[in-house]
Amino acid sequence: MFQIVKKKILNPSVTLMEFDAPLIAAKVKAGQFVIFRVDEQGERVPLTVADSNPEKGTITLIFQIVGRSTKKLNALEEGDSIPDLVGPLGLPTELPEHAEKICVIGGGVGCAIAYPQAKAFYQSGLHVDVIAGFRSKEIVILEKEFQKNCDELILCTDDGSYGMKGFVTNALQERIQQGHQYDVVVAIGPIPMMKFVCELTKKYQIPTIVSLDPIMVDGTGMCGGCRVTVGGKIRYACVEGPDFDGHQVDFDELMHRNTTFREREAECRMMAIADRL
pLDDT of 216 strictly over 90: no
**In this structure, what are the phi and psi dihedrals at residue 28, rounded to the nearest 5 degrees?**
-65, 145
3-state secondary structure of 73: helix
Q: Tally Cβ neighbours within 10 Å of residue 1.
A: 9
- Percent of all residues in the chain with a pLDDT value above 90, rounded to a whole number: 66
Cα–Cα distance measured from residue 105 to residue 245, given in angstroms and rounded to the nearest whole number:
15
The model's confidence at residue 264, banded by pLDDT at 50, 70 and 90, is low
The model's confidence at residue 272, banded by pLDDT at 50, 70 and 90, is low
How distant is the alpha carbon of residue 35 from its chain centre?
14
Please check whether residues 204 and 82 belong to one and the same domain: no
pLDDT of 4 strictly over 80: yes
The model's confidence at residue 40, banded by pLDDT at 50, 70 and 90, is confident
- Residue 143: domain span: 101-257
pLDDT of 145 strictly over 60: yes
Last residue of a domain, one of 51, 68, 89: 89
Whether residue 272 is contained in a domain is answered as no
Cα–Cα distance measured from residue 134 to residue 136, given in angstroms and rounded to the nearest whole number:
6
Please check whether residues 142 and 162 belong to one and the same domain: yes
pLDDT of 277 strictly over 80: no
pLDDT of 222 strictly over 70: yes
Give tens-digit pLDDT for 185-207.
999 999 999 999 999 999 999 99
Q: What is the CATH number of the domain that holds 207?
A: 3.40.50.80
Give tens-digit pLDDT for 96-125.
778 899 999 999 989 998 999 999 999 999
Residue type, 73: L
3-state secondary structure of 91: coil
Cα–Cα distance measured from residue 207 to residue 261, given in angstroms and rounded to the nearest whole number:
32
CB 245 within 8 A of CB 232: no
Please check whether residues 169 and 242 belong to one and the same domain: yes
pLDDT of 263 strictly over 90: no
